[in-house]
Amino acid sequence: MTVALKCEQVAKKIVKASPGAVIAADSTAIVVKSESLYQVAEFLKNTPALGFDYLANLTAVDYLDYFEVVYNLVSLQHNHSLVLKTRCRDRDKPAVPSVVSLWRSADFQEREIYDLMGIVFDGHPNLKRLLLWEGFVGHPLRRDYL
């Protein structure tokens, strides 16, 4: 069985490595600041005891006050999983660091989130629309798109 790790314990390890990164850690997920997302992701991937080498799912949700980007991470060797989240409060130009250099599965998924939600991923090599055409006005999956 894939064990979902206890977020409080993992949060303590993250705080030792990059202090001040974790905003909250409840029973479902760990929420980190978007500026320190890359360091936390690198720590989670490279620490042998955690070893999260498989990014199963990358998605974004539009709660009207903020955007939340959700990463579902899995470790194939230890067979455990974790949910990592980050938030972005800017509505006009939301930006989050990209994790493509760590997990290449983020390539198409980040492009799709840019296309449908409008969140820009800094550091992505080829950020352009994936599913809709150039010249489409707006980002359809936002809650305020009609």
Partner 1 sequence: MEIEKYSMTPLNEIDAAEGLRISSLMAASQHPIPDPDSWLDEEISRNVLVTTVDYVLDWARSRSIFPLMFGLACCAFEMIGTAASRFDISRFGMDIFRWSPRQADLMIVAGTLTWKMAPAVKLVYEQMPEPKWVIAMGQCSISGGPFKESYSVVPGINRIIPVDVYVPGCPPRPESLLYGITKIHQKIVKESIKRA
Partner 2 sequence: MAIRTEPFILNMGPQHPSTHGVFRMRVTLDGEVVVDLEPVIGYLHRGIEKLGETRTYTQIIPLTDRLDYVASMTNNFAYVLAVEKLAGIEIPERAEYLRIIMAETMRISSHLMAVGFFLNDLGAMMTPVLYMWREREKLLDLYEMVCGQRLTYNYMRIGGVSQDVPEEFMPAMKKWVAEMPRFIDEYDQLLAQNEILLARTKGVCILPRDTAINIAASGPVLRASGVKWDLRKADPYSIYARFDFEVPVGTVGDNYDRYWVRMQEARQSIRILEQAIAQLPEGEVCAKVPHLLRPPVGEVYGHIEAPKGELGFYLVSDNSIAPYRFHIRPPTLINLTALKDMVIGWKVADLIITFGSIDVCLGEIDR
46 binds partner 2 (CB under 8 A): no
Distance, in Å, from the CA atom of 40 to the CA atom of 51, rounded to the nearest integer, reads: 12
Residue 24 binding partner per list partner 2, partner 1, none, with a CB distance cut-off of 5 to 8 Å that depends on partner kind: none
Within its chain, how far is the Cα of 18 from the centroid?
17
Cβ density class 120-144: b for 16+ within 10 Å, e for less: ebeebeebeebeeeeeeeebeebee
Question: Between residues 10 and 55, which has the closer beta carbon with respect to partner 2?
Answer: 55
Residue 116, H or E segment:
helix 106-117
C-beta separation of 108 from 78 below 8 A: no
Site residue total, partner 2 (CB under 8 A): 30
Q: Choose from partner 2, partner 1, none: what does 2 bind? Cβ within 5-8 Å by kind.
A: partner 2
Rounded least distance, CB 16 to partner 2, Å:
26
Residues that bind partner 2 (CB under 8 A): 1-2, 28, 53-57, 59, 61-62, 70, 72, 76, 79, 83, 103-105, 107-109, 116, 129-133, 140-141
